[in-house]
Structure formats: C-alpha cells, structure tokens
A and B are shown apart, each in its own frame.
Chain A
Amino acid sequence: MTSPQRRDERGAAASTASPVASPCISVCRIEPASGLCEGCLRTIDEIAGWGTLSDDARRKVWDAIDERRAQRAARPQAGSDVRAAGRHR
C-alpha cells in the first residue's frame, strides 16, 4: 500500500501543482459497501470524471478524500480498511 508520507506529499502537492495530480495509487478496486475505491477513496464518478475536471474541482476531490480518510481513522473498522497492512490483490 502507499506509504502515508507519499499520499500526503501528493495531497500537499495538489494545493500548488497544476494540473492537480491524480490520487490513484493503482489499487483500483471499488468497495461495494462504501462505493469508494479502496486505494484512493474516490467515488467511481470522481474517478471517471477526473480526466476533465478543473484544478479547482480536483482540489475539492482531494479535500473530500482527506475527509473520508479522517472519518475512517476516527471509527473502528470491521471490514476492509485502506490502512490494513498486508493488502493483497
């Protein structure tokens, strides 16, 4: 899985770089329960539409990802978890 530092670097870069970097970390598996990609925590619509989003819209997606990650960190996880070690494909 992507190290927290690398995710954070790309998230931080999102605020200044143009075009805003894709959050994809090559997991590319949508979790049925949440409808989010297990790797990058985007919805399928956010992924499908990313290619033509403006930089501002992309930054909003990054903000949403950060919020989703924070929400997950705040609750106990029963099932699949993007923080789980030993991710297998």
Chain B
Amino acid sequence: MKPLPASLRFIERDWLSSNQIVGIDGERATIVDTGYATRAATTVDLVTRALAGTGATPARIVNTHLHSDHCGGNRALVDAFGCTITIPEASADVVAQWDESRLSFAATGQHCPRFACDATIRPGDTLRLGGLDWNVHAAPGHDPDSVILHCERERLLISADALWETGFGIVFPEIDGESGFDEQHAVLDLIERLGVERVLPGHGALFDDVHGALARARARLESMRSDPQRHARHALKVLVKFMLLDVARIREDALHERAHAAVVMRSAARQAGMDYAQALKWATDSLVGQGLLRREGVELVDV
C-alpha cells in the first residue's frame, strides 16, 4: 500500500468514534473529526502521539458533520490544545444556539459536550490541510449538512460517512420522512466523477478500491431504497448497538429509559411499523441473534 503524504496521518478508530485525519502545516495541525465524547481522553492521547516529533500541535478542528461520533472530542481537544473549530456553514446556527432539538445527539440517544464554532466551510470552498488543497463538496444523504473533502492533486477523499469500504452511514433524513436516498445516490455519483484513488473514511480502514466500494455502496443503497422499512429497522439496530458500544453493559429497562427521548429512534420504529417498546425489543433480540450483543440476566452486554 503506498504511503500517505508525509503531512497527513490517518488514525483508525472504531464504530463508536470516527477516525481522525490529521494534516500538518508547519507547527499547526488540523484534526478532521474527533470521535465520541466518552473516548475523548484517548482521542487526545492518539492525536498527541500521531504528532510526536513533528513539531506541530493541533490548532484547528474541522468537523465534516455534527454527529456525536465525529464531534464528540471537540471540547476535550480544545481544552487540551486551545484549537479552533471549523464546521459546515449549514450547521453554524444550530451550534451557536446549541439547539438540542435540532442537533442530532439527544435525538439518537447519544450525547456530545457543547462547543463553539470559530469558522465555517461551505461547498465550493478550498481548505488548506497538510500542505494540500482540499475542495469542499456537499454530501447530503447521511446528514443534510455533511461535507466531504477532495484533494485533486493526490486524488484523496476524506469521505466522512458518505462512503466506507463496505457501505455508508444510515440515511437519516429518510428516517425523518425527508429525502435522503436520492441525495446519497448523487453523492456516490459525485465521488465517482471526482477521480479518487484513496478514500480516508469516517469509519473503517482507508482503502484504494474505490470502484469496488462504490459498487457495494450502490447495491446497498438500492436495497434500502426498495425497502425503506428495512432501512428503518437497520437504523434501530445501529443505534442500539451504538449505545452498547458506549456503555458496554446496560439493564434492558435502562436501555428503554435511555432511548425514551431519542426521537429519531422513535421515528425509525414508526417507519418500521412497530410500537416503540416492541421495536427496541426487536432490535436487541436481533442483535443478540447475530452475536453482536449478549444477554446476561436482565442486562445486555456488548460483544
């Protein structure tokens, strides 16, 4: 596998925390996406180690979109390094007001410490990161305000949750009864047109088989589009599993309480044609059946 440019680092995390892309510009480093809040201490440590010996410290955070697994480490990184925060312009108001009803965190049964935005980027902008120019493109689908970053010169794409090696993130607008599948389809077409040779995704390994990933993503999108109830059921499972990745173990009744205010999960249940309690039970049973969770008495345990 050919190495990344020396000015870039790719920190692979997991499905609770997004990956971090680190770009070094002299003494200033930019961190793209910051993982989940409860793992923020480790994110700070990883970023510190990734920059060891470079003479650079984190000066700026860039968030591709405001999901808890991508901006949850913002506050901890600001506390540790005093860096600024750059977010998509479309999200600026909701962050300035910290309007919990419009932010995604509580709605998905997740949380994120409050942060302030210092600068914004919008589609059409060019961002300088790691000595390279990155074009900012809108990537609605998974999230209406998400952006992806394309370096034409090195043919690299920071793809957030628009494209992973084996799929892409839940198309949340569809769960809310808004258009999202068409947008996700258009983003996959955009990625194909951009001429990308390596993807630095929001989750999972970086990869060079862009053609294969696009083919898999398109097939997955078509199957979701043809059966929106299936997409809704998948969303429920993803969000329940996410909770368990965070807490490791939880009483089943406590999970139901924790999910009580998660309006996106309620919408998913409604879309899947299930009453909420029934839907949560179905999701946990299904995850247990797949060996992704385990039951121990009244507790659910992450596997």
Chain B stretch 200-227: residues in CB contact (< 8 A) with chain A: 205-207
Are A51 and B206 within 8 A (Cβ)?
yes
Taken together as a complex, chains A and B put the C-alpha atoms of A51 and B202 apart, in Å, by 12
By a CB distance below 8 angstroms, the chain A residues around B246 are 89
By a CB distance below 8 angstroms, the chain B residues around A26 are 14-16, 245, 302
Are B248 and A89 within 8 A (Cβ)?
yes
At the interface, yes or no: A75 with Cβ under 8 Å from chain B? Answer: no
Taken together as a complex, chains A and B put the C-alpha atoms of A89 and B303 apart, in Å, by 15
At the interface, yes or no: B59 with Cβ under 8 Å from chain A? Answer: no
Taken together as a complex, chains A and B put the C-alpha atoms of A26 and B302 apart, in Å, by 10
Q: A6-B291, A48-B46 are in contact. Are A88 and B303 (CB under 8 A)?
A: no
At the interface, yes or no: A13 with Cβ under 8 Å from chain B? Answer: no
By a CB distance below 8 angstroms, the chain A residues around B15 are 26
Shortest Cβ distance from A89 into B: residue = B248
Question: B1-20 interface mask toward A, CB cutoff 8 Å, 1 = contact, 0 = none?
Answer: 10110000111111111010
At the interface, yes or no: A65 with Cβ under 8 Å from chain B? Answer: no
Taken together as a complex, chains A and B put the C-alpha atoms of A68 and B280 apart, in Å, by 38
Shortest Cβ distance from B19 into A: residue = A51
Shortest Cβ distance from B43 into A: residue = A28
Interface of B is mostly: mixed
Are B247 and A89 within 8 A (Cβ)?
yes
Max chain A C-beta neighbours (<10 A), residue from B1, B41, B205, B301: B205
Are B205 and A3 within 8 A (Cβ)?
no
- Quick one: which of B1, B16, B207, B301 contacts A28, CB cutoff 8 A? B16
Question: B36-60 interface mask toward A, CB cutoff 8 Å, 1 = contact, 0 = none?
Answer: 0011011001100110000000000
Taken together as a complex, chains A and B put the C-alpha atoms of A50 and B12 apart, in Å, by 7
- Quick one: which of B9, B49, B303 contacts A2, CB cutoff 8 A? B303
At the interface, yes or no: A44 with Cβ under 8 Å from chain B? Answer: yes
Chain A stretch 1-56: residues in CB contact (< 8 A) with chain B: 1-3, 6, 19, 22, 24-30, 37, 44-45, 47-52, 54
Tally the A-B contacts, defined by beta carbons under 8 Å: 73
14 A-B pairs whose Cβ atoms sit less than 8 Å apart in the complex: A1-B248, A1-B301, A3-B303, A19-B207, A24-B14, A26-B16, A28-B14, A28-B16, A29-B41, A44-B49, A51-B12, A51-B206, A52-B9, A89-B246
Task: Name A's B-contacting residues (CB within 8 A).
Answer: 1-3, 6, 19, 22, 24-30, 37, 44-45, 47-52, 54, 86-89
How far apart are B278's CB and chain A's nearest CB, in angstroms? 27
- Quick one: which of A29, A48, A86 contacts B11, CB cutoff 8 A? A48
Are B46 and A47 within 8 A (Cβ)?
yes
- Quick one: which of A19, A44, A50, A52 contacts B45, CB cutoff 8 A? A44
Taken together as a complex, chains A and B put the C-alpha atoms of A49 and B51 apart, in Å, by 11
How far apart are A2's CB and chain B's nearest CB, in angstroms? 6
By a CB distance below 8 angstroms, the chain A residues around B248 are 1, 27, 87-89
At the interface, yes or no: B234 with Cβ under 8 Å from chain A? Answer: no
Question: B288-299 interface mask toward A, CB cutoff 8 Å, 1 = contact, 0 = none?
Answer: 000100100000
Taken together as a complex, chains A and B put the C-alpha atoms of A77 and B28 apart, in Å, by 42
Are A28 and B42 within 8 A (Cβ)?
yes
By a CB distance below 8 angstroms, the chain B residues around A24 are 12-14
At the interface, yes or no: B249 with Cβ under 8 Å from chain A? Answer: yes
Are B3 and A6 within 8 A (Cβ)?
no
Q: 7 closest pairs, A vs B, by CB? A: A51-B10, A51-B12, A48-B49, A28-B39, A24-B14, A28-B42, A26-B245
Are B49 and A52 within 8 A (Cβ)?
no
How far apart are A57's CB and chain B's nearest CB, in angstroms? 10
